[in-house]
Structure 1
Amino acid sequence: MSSLTSSTVNSNVYESGKYSTVIQKVEAETRIPVPPPKPLLIAMPSEGGEFPLLVFSHGYLLYNSFYSQLLQHVASHGFIVIAPQLYTVAGPDSSDEIKSTAQVTNWLSKGLQYLLPQQVKPNLSKVALAGHSRGGKTSFALALSKETITTLKFSALIGIDPVDGMDKGKQTPPPVLTYVPHSFDLGMPVMVVGSGLGEVKRNPLFPPCAPKGVNHEDFFKECREPACYFVVKDYGHVDMLDDETKGIRGKTTYCLCKNGKTREPMRKFVGGVVIAFMKAYLEGDKRSLMAIRERSSDGDLPVELKTIEFLL
């Protein structure tokens, strides 16, 4: 591995990793000694080993199944991804989502192994927390110990186009953003990924999906080091979802938000940068993350980056 160039390492994170994967749908009432508090989607390597964990929270009114391709991409690089279905219908208050994410996290040490093949072991000392859109807000809120706390310690935090409301001054409860620079006392490395088109209206009838004043830019401004920030040009708020998202909700993901031409490039970048970040801060291998930082504008990236910033 030491002979690989930074370019090779960088390219690899955007493609499937060395592990074949399985994805498992688990209902909350499943018959195991300690059932999960919420339905789950679990993506994992099928080969044996001990793997770090990623707890992933879906976006507002979306299904965890809409992220299947992204979750399997991450799992193929040697991670177990647990994506709870936090709700099917929800109002503006995200307090219950924060509490539910905490409950799922606390359940991991008691019940996760019952759902994994015998040869697949979770490393409960290496757990990252991530979320998309309102799920990004949920993840930040949980990391900040708003509403509740967890028994497991998180090692890293990732916000994928996080959103804290409809506009500045119209945050949904509980508010996360304080608008005080570097005010987040998180005690862990943080990465924020933003979409360049998220703050652009798709049509005049609906607001942008990630409005200025409550979006990725504001979240990163409040982070402390170590933190990194990427904004992807020409792609939208839901362009990291599966190519095909079924049902009425799935179809609305193509008409409510401003989108790029196709989803695959954004999904590949998000998956790759999540893998690089977790390898850096859960496994101590920063080569892929530093390669992205150094080569942000060349052809190795599946997308063009509008912004790249590191606080180290």
Structure 2
Amino acid sequence: MSCSVSSIFGVGELKTQVIKPEETLTPKPLLIYTPVEAGDYPLLILLHGYLLQNSFYSQLSHQIASHGLIIILPQLYSVTGPDATKEVEYVAELTNWLPEGLPKFLPPQVSADLTKLGLAGHSRGGKVAFALALNRVKTELKLKFSALIGIDPVDGMDKGKQTVPKVLTYVPHSFNIEMPVMVIGSGLGEVRKNPLFPACAPKGVNHENFYNECCKPACYFVAKDYGHLDMLDDKTNGIRGKATYCLCKNGKCREPMRRFVGGVVVAFLKGYFEGKFSYLMAIKDDKIAPVELQKVDFLL
């Protein structure tokens, strides 16, 4: 069991490919990671962090897709201000596009099981994911999400300095979300890289606060010695890519944190999409994660 469970922290058996549809044919520019073997696979929408490129998540996406999921990463914007309302609306539009639009870009032998639809977001993308799930921005969704994941989610600059739309209420267990939720946190996210810049995941608006407002069922993992951007690719190109190594407090290297995030996402979705909770329980109880966990908690 431990050998098979630990395999989720690496690339799985399924070969994968990346598809970049024509931008004019989709609501937003997309990257699609999909297994190439024939099958009907669950789908996960993954939202990028603040001012990041969706391509910075390629290694993480390949890992997750290789365990039997289709991953869609929209590029929500190039430049944006503090208000994330439009991003929530874009994700709703993308979700409504899926039934008719997505099959045109998948390999003929591959299909998406839209009854198993997950929504995940990193950093500001995590805020956007929660805002959509909580209907903080009024949207009409044709599909129902089955699972929600916040990867080091951030709701602004500080408590009292939340950005629009505000997600956190500071009322314990106030999130009325009718689906299982997982929150992943970074132990170094609330630590400043240097005095000139704020922490990338400030205390008061970070993973701890998001989890405190979750209801059952929910789970929570915090990786001790890793930072807010340590789940990105090893090499992130361009000025924005270089900045990912300069603005946030980082761990020694990204690979262990990225493998952990990919593995725990796979374990969570296998549990709630397939009923295979042994993977998730092994991470909780057997300490098989490739990182030291600062905190683990479950609301069941």
Counterpart position of 1:100? 90
Q: Please tell me whether residue 306 in structure 1 is matched to residue 294 in structure 2.
A: yes
The alignment's TM-score, normalised by the length of structure 2, stands at 0.99
- Counterpart contact for 1:142–1:149, Cα < 8 Å: no
Matched with 1:24 is 19
1:75 corresponds to which letter in structure 2? A
TM superposition shift of 1:149: 3.2
Q: Distance in 1 between matches of 2:273 and 2:202?
A: 31
Say whether residues 1:155 and 2:143 are aligned partners.
no
Matched residues in 2 for 1:23 and 1:139: separation?
A: 23
Moved more, 17-26 or 235-244: 17-26
Q: Secondary structure at the match of 1:71?
A: helix
What TM-score, normalized by structure 1, do the two folds share? 0.95
1:21 is aligned with what amino acid? T
| 1:133 paired to 2:128 | no
Amino acid at match of 2:116: K
Mapped to 1, the partners of 2:111 and 2:129 lie a distance apart of 24
Q: Indicate whether 1:41 and 2:41 are aligned.
A: no
Q: Deviation of residue 150 (structure 1)?
A: 1.5
Aligned residues: 299
Shift of 1:277: 0.3
How is 1:179-258 mapped onto 2 (pairs within 5 angstroms)?
179-258=170-249
Q: Please provide the CA RMSD for this pair.
A: 0.7
Q: Deviations over 1:292-311 (max 9, x none)?
A: 11112xxx321000000000
Match of 2:257 in 1: 266
Following the alignment from structure 1 to structure 2, what is the Cα–Cα distance between the partners of residues 150 and 75?
25
SS at match of 1:307: strand
Note the residue ranges of structure 1 that are not aligned, 5 or more in a row. 30-34
Contact 2:30 2:72 in 1 (8 A): yes
Rounded Cα–Cα distance in structure 1 between residues aligned with 2:87 and 2:103: 24
Q: Secondary structure at the residue paired with 1:26? A: coil
Match of 1:293? 284
1:66 equivalent to 2:56? Answer yes
1:146 aligns with 2:141: no
| Alpha-carbon separation, structure 2, partners of 1:145 and 1:229 | 22
Q: What is the rounded CA distance, in whole Å, between the counterparts of 1:279 and 1:150 in structure 2?
A: 24
1:26-49 superposed Cα distances (whole Å, 9 cap, x missing partner): 2321xxxxx210000100101110
Tell whether the 8 Å contact from 1:56 to 1:130 is kept in structure 2 after alignment. yes
Point out where structure 2 has 5 or more consecutive residues left out of the alignment.
Answer: none
Separation in structure 2 between the aligned mates of residue 271 and residue 149 of structure 1, nearest angstrom: 30
3-state SS of 2:231 partner:
coil
Structure 2 CA distance for aligned equivalents of residues 43 and 136 of structure 1: 20
